């Protein structure tokens, strides 16, 4: 990873995307270890975590994670999941946080030197380009080691650095290995 000790950096974590990438690599992320890792790389100004939550459920499996992150150094950005019926009559949920993440990147771009985006979503290519035009270095954290790869090729090419999530695994994996899907503090979301 190419970081400089005196550079100010900010993390922008697309929660559902990072969860999917880590799940594809068969590990759970220890967010305390992730925060500590990047705090050692430079001057960590802010770490954002984006996710949609089901507000109508009495208990959401995501709520304990969101609460923990909120109390442990992350700026958590949430919005309610939207339920809809697709063309085939199946109930679906939608919880896309792309706009929220993009706005925060552009607002923080004047306050940091290095932006780290944890997502493989190709929609962020133009966001990366816009931050680079402001003179910011941008790293993307995702994986090409799953089938299919979790990072869009155009996003990977646009970034100044691509950080393979699988290579961070020894430093950020939750002790004890992955949880079963029933225990997991995240669930699949459609964009």
CA distances from 171 to 26, 44, 125 (A): 15, 17, 27
Q: Would you state the pLDDT for residue 187?
A: 39
* Token digits of residue 46: 């802010």
pTM of the model: 0.87
**Do the Cβ atoms of 42 and 7 come closer than 8 Å?**
yes
pLDDT in single tens digits along all 191 residues of the chain = 689 999 999 999 999 999 999 999 999 999 999 999 999 999 999 999 999 988 776 677 788 899 999 999 999 999 988 877 888 888 777 778 999 999 999 999 999 999 999 999 999 999 999 999 999 999 999 999 999 999 999 999 999 999 999 999 999 999 876 654 444 444 333 33
Residue 83 neighbours by CB distance under 10 Å: 11
- DSSP, res 31: H
* Token digits of residue 166: 């699988």
**CB-based contacts of 140: which residues, under 8 Å, 6+ apart?**
116, 117, 119, 120, 124, 128, 151, 155, 156, 159, 161, 162, 163
**Which domains are assigned to the chain?**
8-172 (3.40.50.1010)
Q: Would you state the pLDDT for residue 185?
A: 47
Q: Would you state the pLDDT for residue 148?
A: 93
Q: How far apart are the first and last CA of the chain?
A: 29
* Token digits of residue 176: 């004890």
Q: Would you state the pLDDT for residue 182?
A: 40
């Amino acid at each position: 990873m190419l970081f400089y000790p005196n550079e100010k950096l900010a993390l922008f974590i697309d929660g559902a995307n990072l969860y999917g990438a880590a799940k594809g690599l068969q590990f759970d992320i220890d967010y305390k270890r992730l925060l500590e890792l990047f705090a050692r790389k430079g001057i960590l100004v802010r770490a954002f975590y984006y996710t949609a939550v089901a507000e109508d459920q009495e208990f959401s499996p995501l709520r304990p994670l969101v609460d923990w992150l909120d109390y442990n150094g992350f700026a958590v950005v949430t919005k309610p999941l939207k339920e809809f019926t697709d063309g085939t009559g199946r109930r679906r949920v939608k919880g896309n946080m792309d706009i929220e993440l993009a706005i925060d990147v552009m607002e923080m771009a004047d306050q940091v030197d290095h932006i780290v985006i944890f997502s493989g979503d190709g929609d962020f290519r133009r966001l990366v380009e816009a931050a680079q035009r402001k003179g910011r270095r941008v790293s993307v954290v995702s994986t090409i080691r799953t089938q299919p790869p979790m990072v869009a090729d155009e996003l990977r090419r646009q970034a100044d650095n691509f950080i393979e999530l699988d290579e961070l695994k020894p430093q950020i994996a939750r002790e004890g290995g992955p949880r079963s899907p029933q225990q997991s503090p995240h669930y699949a979301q459609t964009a």
